Structure 1
Amino acid sequence: MIEMSEPIIVAFPLRGEWLSPNTPGTKIPSHGTNQLGTRYAYDFIQVDWSRKGYPAYRVSLPQYLLFGVPLNEYYCWGQEVYSPCDGIVVAAEDDYKEQTRTNLLSDLANAYKNAHYFDPEKDDVQSVAGNYIIIEYGDNIYAALCHLQTGTVQVSVGQSVTKGEVIGKVGHSGNSFAPHLHFQLMDSSDIATANGLLCAFEEYELFNKGRWEKISNGIPTNKDRIRFQKSDIETE
């Protein structure tokens, strides 16, 4: 399953409980393509674990299927996003508008089109990534956090960021089937041509048989109920 013996270790970029429906812990390429640096990318959503099918929205299934869902009815929309590492911001885009609600058929069709037919020579990266931040973590290592909520990007190009610093909020901008955070490491600051890099998260908890277990340097699967709480530094 894992093609690199030494994944790059970064901090978990969110707080609270999450599910990763697309993750390299389950399949590679995690998004079905190697384009746009997504080979080892993660998507993170919040769900209602008590409802059948673990929906990511507060409304009923018929309403979701027939009419779509306003963004504020999704559990994760507007949740804070944290820097996964110390580094320098090399890109920060925050002018791509979000739709006011999701639409299953059109969003899935758009996602498929962009995943398989995106042309880096003529297509706008923001049509896929939406509002995004790219952080230079090390030599040829860049962290990208995409689909951020319009108007919430809190950093600018050239700014130094520290691990755990709030940098934006989860949104639905760009090529997004529903509000979520898309996170990936890549070997270039240019999403259009970058190759993906495998990463693991230095610390989080996994809900297993009714108990939370601490995980170190882990790669969650698409079945895992995971959480990360605020650190002691953040709560001081």
Structure 2
Amino acid sequence: MVLFRCCLVVFFAQLVAGYFFDFSRWWGWIPLGLAVVLPIVLNRRPASPGTPPAVEVDPPVTGRWSALNSPADKVPSHGTRVYGQAYAIDITAEPEGRARPGFGWWPVVRRNRDFPAFGAPLLAVADATVVRAVDRNRDHLSRNSFPALLYLLVEGMFREMGGPGQVVGNHVVIDLGEGTYAMYAHLQRGSLAVREGDRVRAGQLLARCGNSGNSTEPHVHFQLMDNPDLDVAHGVPFSWRGVGVPGNGEVFSVDEPAMP
């Protein structure tokens, strides 16, 4: 993925330089071609030998939610294995009495507070240690329309050049032990309730759902992986206690944890 980002940077650098210097722009198609081929090769690679069975953890949210891009329907769930996403899942809030704005032509963008997931608390799925906690990225307007989706595709290329941190936006990674890490992505800016090095208990507040990074609307991106470094991580299957792995479009509910 580092080579992939370098290829994109070289392509755009040559594209810009071609307007100021006299040289053949055909050379720029070489790094662009590599940038296209590399993800295909990475996505076709088999899963790492000895892939463990699903790791059972608590759900990262409470309330009523629906699943998108679920590994229950296909693997890799997001169409790619890079950044440890092979078994990742997206979920968005679907509370009773409040409809989530649909995808369409208009309005082109919406404010984040129009979506019920925005600001929802995200909880530790197990006793763990925080190894990464970032919340400096802004929460942008939604991209849940056809015109905005086209913009997102172009925006995504530039985010890729910035590295995985620009793709996942604000995020938390916690070490569950035994070589398994959980990541929560697209967090709300300024919502972190923990810092790197903190020891957390299952059910403890980590942050809140936002719309940072490469995201169409406020939602939770959750995944387990075998390394906290997204450039080298492989995905690990998960199962949520009492829920399992919800399929695409499946609505599920999680009760509030009982107070001690």
Report TM bin, short chain: 0.7 to 0.9
Per the TM alignment, residue 220 of structure 1 is displaced from its structure 2 partner at its CA by: 1.0
Q: Contact (CA 8 Å) 2:129, 2:174: kept in 1 or not?
A: yes
Q: Specify the code of the residue in structure 1 equivalent to 2:219.
A: H
Q: Specify the code of the residue in structure 1 equivalent to 2:185.
A: C
Structure 1 counterpart of 2:197:
158
Q: What is the correspondence of 1:12-161 to structure 2 with a 5 Å cutoff?
A: 12-47=59-94, 56-57=100-101, 65-102=106-143, 104-105=145-146, 108-109=149-150, 112=153, 123-161=162-200
Q: Contact (CA 8 Å) 2:223, 2:236: kept in 1 or not?
A: yes
Structure 1 counterpart of 2:53:
6
State the SS of the aligned residue for 2:106: helix
Q: Quick one: structure 1 residues 24 and 114, their matched pair in 2 at CA, closer, same or farther if it must change by over 3 Å? A: farther
Q: Tell me the C-alpha RMSD between the 2 structures.
A: 2.7
Whether 2:235 is the aligned partner of 1:196: answer yes
Q: Quick one: structure 1 residues 115 and 67, their matched pair in 2 at CA, closer, same or farther if it must change by over 3 Å? A: closer
Cα separation, 2, equivalents of 1:5 and 1:11? 18
Q: TM-score scaled to structure 1, two decimals?
A: 0.80
Q: Contact (CA 8 Å) 1:20, 1:42: kept in 2 or not?
A: yes
Describe the superposition over 1:202-229 as per-residue Cα deviations: whole angstroms up to 9, x where unpaired: 123xxxxxxxxxxxxx111113210101
Cα separation, 2, equivalents of 1:13 and 1:116? 29
Q: Contact (CA 8 Å) 1:132, 1:145: kept in 2 or not?
A: yes
Q: Contact (CA 8 Å) 2:119, 2:208: kept in 1 or not?
A: yes
Per the TM alignment, residue 133 of structure 1 is displaced from its structure 2 partner at its CA by: 0.2
Describe the superposition over 1:3-25 as per-residue Cα deviations: whole angstroms up to 9, x where unpaired: 96721011000010000111111
- In proportion to residue count, which structure has more helix? 2
Name which of 217, 225, 234 aligns with 2:251: 225
Structure 1 counterpart of 2:46:
none
Q: Quick one: structure 1 residues 108 and 38, their matched pair in 2 at CA, closer, same or farther if it must change by over 3 Å? A: farther
Q: Contact (CA 8 Å) 2:193, 2:205: kept in 1 or not?
A: yes
Q: Quick one: structure 1 residues 114 and 135, their matched pair in 2 at CA, closer, same or farther if it must change by over 3 Å? A: farther
Deviates more, 1:221-230 or 1:156-165: 221-230
Per the TM alignment, residue 69 of structure 1 is displaced from its structure 2 partner at its CA by: 1.2
Q: Contact (CA 8 Å) 1:33, 1:115: kept in 2 or not?
A: no
Q: Quick one: structure 1 residues 141 and 179, their matched pair in 2 at CA, closer, same or farther if it must change by over 3 Å? A: same
Per the TM alignment, residue 66 of structure 1 is displaced from its structure 2 partner at its CA by: 3.2
Q: Quick one: structure 1 residues 116 and 20, their matched pair in 2 at CA, closer, same or farther if it must change by over 3 Å? A: farther
- In proportion to residue count, which structure has more strand? 1
Per the TM alignment, residue 92 of structure 1 is displaced from its structure 2 partner at its CA by: 0.2
**Identical pairs, percent:** 28
Cα separation, 2, equivalents of 1:173 and 1:48? 22
Q: Contact (CA 8 Å) 1:146, 1:182: kept in 2 or not?
A: yes
Q: Quick one: structure 1 residues 82 and 48, their matched pair in 2 at CA, closer, same or farther if it must change by over 3 Å? A: closer
5+ residue gaps, structure 2? 1-49
Cα separation, 2, equivalents of 1:78 and 1:129? 17
Q: Contact (CA 8 Å) 1:70, 1:102: kept in 2 or not?
A: no
